Amino acid sequence: MSLTYEERRQTILDQLVTDGKVQVHALAKLFNVSTETIRRDLDRLEKEGRLRKVYGGAVLMRSEMIEPTFLKRSQMQRSEKQAIGKLAVSLIQHGETVILDNGTTTLEIMRQLKDRADVTVITNSVPILTSALEEFQGKVIFVGGEVNASYQAATGAITHQLLDQLKVNKAFISAGGVSLSDGITDYNLEEALLSRKMMQRTEESILVVDHSKFGVTTFAQIAPIEQISMILSDSKCSREWIDALQQLDVEILLCEKG
């Protein structure tokens, strides 16, 4: 097919959002153009700040290679996170025990749970624990260990050992990024390993991420997408991602913003 640069550009960007990377030879075959044409396209997109060229192709440009502070993250996509939190709480049944990992979206779940005296919450997150102590009517269990001041969460061997003693109904997992090629990832290795452990100790793992996390890869893998039972996100999640997740037989529920 004969396409202009602008038409090729949009297809390349769509593929980057979905897969996190593109390959020169595959794009040349797709567009029926030379590899030199594709390399020029990638050069232009790199100058626009939309991607970073690597050997054989390009990867999605990440604006922040280091995770923002917890306080800063709590202000980002806040209304979306609140809506996701409300949707998550609607899935929690009477008498269930749930795990909330350390994240700003899972913190919104805790805030929405405040009147549910019939629910037990397990967490390693200091902000979630603080919120629970202030207004939660149910039972809270803090899986302690070495508390990292930067991440405001307990991590390490003691936390893993405590989780090994528990089995819960649902685990709500947050993430730094979601990619078809790299799976569910986080910025911090310790937190990624702990979220993976939480998934192992639950009957149902539910990923809670706003639309900005799709097509992003961060440092450490939590798990492949296929190991998640369900994904909760907001209405800005793209059609391409919804279709891709359906092909993987991963259910996704979307909430309205606000």
Report the chain's terminal Cα–Cα distance, integer Å.
42
Give me the pLDDT at residue 64, please.
Answer: 45
Is the pLDDT at 71 greater than 60? The verdict is no
Q: Give CA separation, 36 vs 5, 28, 40, 57, in Å.
A: 13, 9, 6, 12
pLDDT confidence band for 76 (50 / 70 / 90): low
Rounded to whole angstroms, the Cα distance separating 140 from 89 reads 16
Contacts of residue 149, defined as CB under 8 A and 6 or more positions apart, other chains included, come to: none
3-state secondary structure of 23: strand
Between 21 and 107, residue with greater pLDDT: 107
The angle at the Cα of 47, spanning 45 to 52, to the nearest 5 degrees, equals: 65
Rounded to whole angstroms, the Cα distance separating 183 from 257 reads 25
Q: Give CA separation, 25 vs 8, 28, 53, 65, 237, in Å.
A: 14, 5, 14, 28, 29
Is the pLDDT at 258 greater than 80? The verdict is no
Give me the pLDDT at residue 69, please.
Answer: 55
Give me the pLDDT at residue 218, please.
Answer: 86
Is the pLDDT at 112 greater than 80? The verdict is yes
* Over residues 33-40, mean pLDDT: 93
Give me the pLDDT at residue 34, please.
Answer: 93
Which DSSP string corresponds to 150-179? Answer: TTTEEESHHHHHHHHT--EEEEEE--SEEE
Write down all domains in the chain, each with its CATH number in brackets: 5-60 (1.10.10.10), 70-255 (3.40.50.1360)
Model confidence over 161-216: pLDDT tens digits?
A: 999 999 999 999 999 999 888 899 998 899 999 999 999 999 999 999 998 888 88
Percent of the chain with pLDDT over 90: 64
Is the pLDDT at 63 greater than 60? The verdict is no
Residue 8: closest CA among 22, 249, 226:
22
For residue 215, give both structure tokens. 């097509």
Rounded to whole angstroms, the Cα distance separating 50 from 86 reads 33
pLDDT confidence band for 13 (50 / 70 / 90): confident
Percent of the chain with pLDDT over 70: 91
Rounded to whole angstroms, the Cα distance separating 89 from 116 reads 9
* Over residues 132-159, mean pLDDT: 92
* Over residues 142-163, mean pLDDT: 91
Rounded to whole angstroms, the Cα distance separating 20 from 57 reads 11
Give me the pLDDT at residue 219, please.
Answer: 85
Name the pTM for this structure: 0.76
Write phi, then psi, for 6 (nearest 5 degrees): -60, -40
Is the pLDDT at 74 greater than 60? The verdict is no
Provide the strand spans (E) within the chain: 21-23, 51-54, 57-60, 97-100, 120-123, 139-142, 146-148, 153-155, 168-173, 177-179, 183-186, 202-208, 220-223, 230-234, 251-255
Model confidence over 201-228: pLDDT tens digits?
A: 999 999 999 988 888 888 899 999 999 9
